[in-house]
Amino acid sequence: MNTEAGRQAKFNQLAQSYGTDLYRYAMWICGNDALAKDLVQETYLRAWKALDRLKDPKAAKSWLITILRREFARTFERKVPKFTDLDKVVVTEESELEPDEQTEMKILRQGIMKLAPKYREPLLMQVVLGYSCKEISEALDISKSAVMTQLFRAREQLKTQMRKDGVTGNVHELF
């Protein structure tokens, strides 16, 4: 796509295809609506500038998520004010949940956010974005077996945490 119109079309397709996933992931990692929107916008800005470097359209989602993750890391370098507590964020899909289910979801989110980033990131990428182990390994630049180990440990730590918080259901059912 050498023309400006072709470049714009390619970018618009990426933004339209992955905007919802980017926002959802940003909300999970930062827990703040305004910051999540800013992260997505910064991701788009960086993606626009580097669009010519995206050679494989199949890798676009991983590429965008990697940009978003790095942009989120930069927020700490800029000393962004403290984020809102994730349990105060209402995600649209939850409006259909019963009160008991909403409580479980709140406890689940709190548990996920307590996980070390090493375990939280692959779990969120799998659960929120629907990434396969291979895609996670590529995005995080670690081996597939390391991803599987981290996912297993994340779930085990989450189960333990949720038992402490009084949730008796299966963690896998809550995803």
Please tell me the distance from the alpha carbon of residue 27 to that of residue 24, in angstroms, as a whole number.
5
State the pTM of this model. 0.55
Please tell me whether residues 66 and 106 are part of one structural domain: no
138-175 confidence digits (pLDDT tens): 888 899 888 888 988 888 888 887 777 666 555 445 44
The angle that helices 60-77 and 33-49 make with each other, rounded to 10 degrees, is 120
Domain that holds residue 73: 4-77
The angle that helices 133-140 and 117-127 make with each other, rounded to 10 degrees, is 130
Domain-ending residue, one of 77, 103, 127: 77
Please tell me whether residues 97 and 169 are part of one structural domain: yes
Among 126, 18, 27, 32, which Cα is nearest to 65's?
18
63-117 confidence digits (pLDDT tens): 998 899 888 887 766 544 444 444 444 444 555 556 666 677 777 778 888 888 8
Please tell me the distance from the alpha carbon of residue 112 to that of residue 29, in angstroms, as a whole number.
10
Please tell me whether residues 69 and 102 are part of one structural domain: no
Please tell me whether residues 54 and 12 are part of one structural domain: yes
Please tell me whether residues 95 and 159 are part of one structural domain: yes
| Per-residue CA distances from 159 to 76, 123, 147, 169 (Å) | 29, 13, 18, 9
> Residue 82 falls within a domain, yes or no?
no
Please tell me whether residues 70 and 42 are part of one structural domain: yes
Among 141, 110, 106, 101, which Cα is nearest to 125's?
141
CATH number of the domain to which 164 belongs: 1.10.10.10
103-131 confidence digits (pLDDT tens): 777 777 788 888 888 998 888 888 888 88
Tally the domains of the chain.
2
Domain-ending residue, one of 13, 46, 77: 77
